[in-house]
Amino acid sequence: MMSSPNPNPTSLLFLLIIFSIASFKLSYCINFCPEIEKQSLLSFKQSLEDPDNTLSSWNINGEVNCCKWKGVACNNYTGHVHKLYLQSYYLSGKLNPSLLNLKHLRYLDLSQNYFEETIPSFIGSFQGLEYLDLSLSGFNGTIPHTIGNLSSLRTLCLGYTETYEINHLKVDSFEWLSGLSQLEQLNMNGVNLSAVATTWVQVINTLSSLVELNFSSCSLNFIAPLNDFVNVSSLAFLDLSQNEFQSSVIPKWIFQLSELTYLDLSVSNLEGPIPNISNITKLQWIDLSSNNLNSAIPDWLYFNRDLKLVDLQECDLHGVLTILLQ
């Protein structure tokens, strides 16, 4: 019987050294963010007012590893800062362009703060950014066109909620939006879009990846038809409520969105009959309340058993509604 050859001690030592070096490098990447990124965060903090001292961990005398600072997340393998989530930190002050040294930033959430300034144009220089939420943070003025440079962006939130009386953001054009070809979620609730009232539909139709669109309370007075192909076929959530569409019927293109599950057109001054939505087989929630709709109760209401909520209050509908929805 042949005996197994004895392992070469030199080979074992070589493998042990290689393993130790690899482990050290991996440990270093995991445990320490790059110095330039740490200094960038410290400069960013210096430009802010932090009344609750929420960013107390951001200091050179405490935890030296910025990956462990509050609101900061790093890539486990490279150590680069890739996520800043500073939601509801009651921050105010100025946004420091030192953040641009975070070359690997993918996620930036500054929502629910009190910046009370215009959105700085440098925000459009984060080439790899996929998620940007600046909602409910007091930003005002015209949305910078540079946001259209964020070609990797999948989520853009600039809106507000009913707890805020007014949103002071506005747009002067929508050409920049066409640059966001990967966009899946767009929330501009409360942003003044009156300057693009006649063109917004055509621009949105270029965003073929869009799944969620919220243009509620956007001072829109026109909802255009689409004479060409409906390109936003992936749209599942559509909220155009609380607008003042002038002499507008519900356009047929909305009811060609076969993936739609949520539709809110309430309080929008729409008129005319309710179009046939039998093609939207996935629809679960529809609100057409407080409009000037003047048709009979639509037949599709009796046959779509997937509907969980239908609101037709304060519409001039006629007919008998049989209770079918549980």
| 21 within a domain of the structure (yes/no) | no
pLDDT value for 322: 55
| 104 within a domain of the structure (yes/no) | no
pLDDT value for 300: 74
Tell me the backbone φ, ψ of residue 89, rounded to 5 degrees: -95, 0
Return d(Cα 129, Cα 39) in angstroms, integer.
20
Under 8 Å between Cβ of 83 and 72: yes
From 235, 267, 296, the end of a domain falls on 235
| 42 within a domain of the structure (yes/no) | no
From 203, 235, 267, the end of a domain falls on 235
| 26 within a domain of the structure (yes/no) | no
Return d(Cα 52, Cα 70) in angstroms, integer.
13
Return d(Cα 101, Cα 70) in angstroms, integer.
19
Residues 129 and 231 in one domain: yes
Do β-strands 155-157 and 185-187 pair in parallel, antiparallel, or remain unpaired? parallel
Return d(Cα 75, Cα 129) in angstroms, integer.
14
| 310 within a domain of the structure (yes/no) | yes
Please return the burial class of 152, using the count of CB atoms within 10 Å of its CB with bins 0-12, 13-18 and 19+.
middle
Return d(Cα 237, Cα 221) in angstroms, integer.
21
| 77 within a domain of the structure (yes/no) | no
Q: Read off the DSSP letter of residue 114.
A: B
Residues 189 and 272 in one domain: no
Give pLDDT tens digits for 225-278: 887 788 999 999 999 999 999 878 888 899 889 999 999 999 999 988 887 787
pLDDT value for 228: 75
Tell me the CATH number at 249: 3.80.10.10
Residues 122 and 230 in one domain: yes
Residue 183's domain spans which residues? 116-235
- DSSP of 18-83: HHHHHHHHHHHHHH---HHHHHHHHHHHHTEE-TT-TTTT-STTS---GGGSTTEEE-TTT--EEE
Residues 143 and 219 in one domain: yes
Q: Bridge-partner residues for 133, per DSSP?
A: 109, 157
From 178, 201, 235, the end of a domain falls on 235
The structural domain count of the chain equals 2
Helix, coil or strand: residue 319: coil
**Amino acid, res. 213:** L
At 202, list the tokens. 């055509």
Strands (E), the chain: 48-49, 72-74, 81-85, 92-93, 107-109, 131-133, 141-142, 155-157, 169-170, 185-187, 212-214, 237-239, 248-249, 262-264, 270-272, 285-287, 292-293, 309-311
Per-residue pLDDT of the chain (326 residues; tens, 9 = 90+): 445 555 565 665 555 555 544 444 444 445 589 999 999 999 999 999 999 999 999 998 888 899 999 999 999 999 999 999 999 999 999 999 999 999 999 999 999 999 989 999 999 999 999 999 999 999 999 999 999 999 999 999 999 855 455 668 999 999 999 999 999 999 999 999 999 999 999 999 999 999 999 999 999 999 998 877 889 999 999 999 999 998 788 888 998 899 999 999 999 999 888 877 878 889 999 999 999 888 777 777 777 778 888 888 888 776 655 554 44
Give pLDDT tens digits for 209-235: 999 999 999 999 999 988 778 899 999
Angle at CA of residue 65, ends 103 and 90, nearest 5°? 75
Residues 219 and 252 in one domain: no
H-helix segments, 87-233: 200-204
